Amino acid sequence: MSDAYSVGEVARIARITVRTLHHYDEIGLLSPGGRTPAGYRRYQDADLDRLQQILFYRELGFPLEEIAAILDDHSVGPREHLRRQHRLLTERITHLQELAAAVEHAMEAKKMGIQLTPEEKFEIFGESYREEWEDEAEQRWGDTEAWTQSQRRTAEYGKADWQRIKAEADALNARLVEAFTAGEPADGGPAMDLAEVHRQHICDNFYDCTFEIHRGIAGMYLADPRFTEVYEQLAPGLARWLHDAMLANAAFRTGEQA
């Protein structure tokens, strides 16, 4: 059938992973229109149209559950979807214009903490980095010893230091994904060892991250959708697994209950 594609072909066309397509199928967000006699997924043109819609809304930050609700609302036709997308894109453009203005403002007055120009921040941390996160962090933790210690240490860092820290974090994330996809249990030795590497990375570069603080960070990975999304983009389910590994590691090394 000319309009049937394998899961690998769809992944290549859409520039996503096969694992992501499997996850979408498992949660009912995008199930293939057909199967081969051997049970292999076969996607049709209509499935690719739906995938395009999914990726559009995901790019704008919509949770997968909300995307499913939007696309499964049969009272909304294709024309209304286009109107909605036009409005969302217009809002995104406005947001980017405001972000550009914030970057220009930051260039005129350096802030404490990450001593980089706005361009260097985007270069190192990616286009998803937001200047306002620094202000939010100061509002939430500005009166803590950890914040003071982190500000004192990072004030000495230059571009090369941040590149090294980012490379270390990326390498750790790759190890986390490898262990998670290999089926390592969150409370097993390899997972807890990686959780300890995660804690030590914070200790080595920012502040003395106690096990109590590390437990709080673990909770934030599930409570704050922005942190959750970072790990879910690496592998669906990774945020929960890392959370559980961090709690298990803290309990194991302190002799307390997770």
User: Residues 11-31: pLDDT tens digits?
Assistant: 999 999 999 999 999 999 999
Q: What is the pLDDT of residue 111?
A: 45
Cβ atoms of 184 and 175 closer than 8 Å:
no
Global pTM value: 0.49
Longest CA–CA separation in the chain, Å: 64
Instruction: With both helix axes pointing from N to C terminus, report the angle between 145-154 and 132-141 in degrees, rounded to the nearest 10.
Output: 140
Segment 187-208 mean pLDDT: 93
Predicted confidence band of residue 189 (pLDDT cuts 50, 70, 90): very high
118 phi-psi bin (left φ>0, alpha ψ -120 to 50, beta other):
alpha
- Round the average pLDDT of the chain to a whole number and report it: 81
More confidently predicted of 140 and 57: 57
Q: What is the mean pLDDT of residues 52-60?
A: 88
Beta-carbon neighbour count of residue 224 at 10 Å?
A: 11
CA 64 – CA 30 distance, rounded (Å) = 11
**84: confidence class by pLDDT, cuts 50, 70, 90:** confident
- Does residue 108 register a pLDDT over 70? no
pLDDT at 83 over 90: no
Whether the per-residue pLDDT at 3 is higher than 70: the answer is no
**Exposed / middle / buried, residue 227 (Cβ in 10 Å: 0-12, 13-18, 19+):** middle
CA dist 135 → 110, 130, 140 (Å): 13, 10, 9
* 3-state secondary structure (DSSP) of residue 114: coil
- The owner of tokens 């590497």 is 197
Query: Average pLDDT, stretch 234-245?
Result: 95
